Each structure stands twice: as C-alpha cells, then as structure tokens.
C-alpha cells in the first residue's frame, strides 16, 4: 500500500522508538503477515493478568493493515493466530485490503455533473413525451 503524505512528527518518531525498545527488551516474535507487519508477545508471563501483545508495522502505523487472523489474535479472540488451513479461511473470501483513503488507489466516484461513460447501446433514456398512456 502506498503511504499517504504526512508531515514529519517528533512525537510519532519518539513513540515508534519507545515501541522498538520495548520490543527489543521485552518482546518475543510470534509471526508476520503478508504486509510485512511483525507480531510480538511479552517474554515473561505475569501471574494475574493476560500477556501483552503488539504489532510492529512495516512503514507508518495504520491499523487497517492488520489482516483479520492477526486482529483476532491481538484482541485475545484467539490464543494463537489463525493458520491458512483454518476452517475460518474460505475460498470465496477476498484477500484483506487496507483502507486506501488518501492514496492513489482510493475509490473516487464520478463527480456530479461530470460526463458519464458512454454505454454499449443498451441504454435508452426515458422521456415523458415518448410515454404512452
């Protein structure tokens, strides 16, 4: 997915640095997805609370880049990420697509008043004068 243009932010960079340090010292890699994002869980388990799970995004942080199987794991719906052979993966399901807003691939409907593409001759506009009663 092409990145949208964003202004430079020191706060965002420091936040990413903090997450990278936490990952280096406290994280254990679980896996990666098709977008290049890497998923981690904490190394030591603390009694009385559930483990921490997080993602290191490839590129800028964008939550819509997380596929459903990893989303379920991050939000404790599944104990482990769903494998490709899972019963939840169906052949008719389209591949995950992130939010394309503010990118070149974003959906842009025809503007009001813009010319419509010419049809293949199977369209005839209705007019009240041609109406038979």
CA–CA distance from 85 to each of 13, 16, 72, 90 (Å)?
37, 33, 16, 9
Structure tokens of 60?
């800028």
Please give the Cα distance from 74 to 40 (Å, whole number): 9
Is the pTM higher than 0.85?
Answer: no
Q: What is the DSSP letter of 103?
A: S
Average pLDDT, the chain: 82
**What does the pLDDT look like over 94-132, one tens digit per residue?**
888 888 888 888 888 877 777 777 766 666 778 887 666
Write phi, then psi, for 10 (nearest 5 degrees).
Answer: -65, -35
Please give the Cα distance from 6 to 8 (Å, whole number): 6
Mean pLDDT over residues 18-28, rounded?
Answer: 89
Contacts of 34 (CB under 8 A, 6+ apart): 67, 95, 96
Which has more pLDDT, 4 or 42? 42
């Amino acid at each position: 997915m092409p990145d949208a243009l964003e202004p430079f932010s020191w706060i965002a960079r420091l936040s990413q640095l903090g997450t990278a340090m936490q990952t280096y010292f406290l994280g254990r890699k679980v896996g990666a997805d098709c977008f290049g994002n890497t998923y981690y869980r904490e190394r030591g388990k603390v009694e009385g609370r559930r483990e921490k799970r997080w993602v290191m995004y490839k590129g800028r942080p964008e939550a819509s880049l997380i596929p459903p199987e990893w989303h379920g794991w991050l939000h404790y719906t599944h104990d482990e990420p769903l494998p490709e052979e899972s019963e939840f993966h169906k052949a008719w399901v389209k591949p995950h697509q992130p939010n394309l807003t503010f990118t070149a691939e974003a959906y842009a409907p025809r503007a009001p008043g813009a010319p419509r593409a010419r049809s293949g001759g199977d369209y005839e506009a209705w007019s009240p004068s041609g109406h038979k009663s």
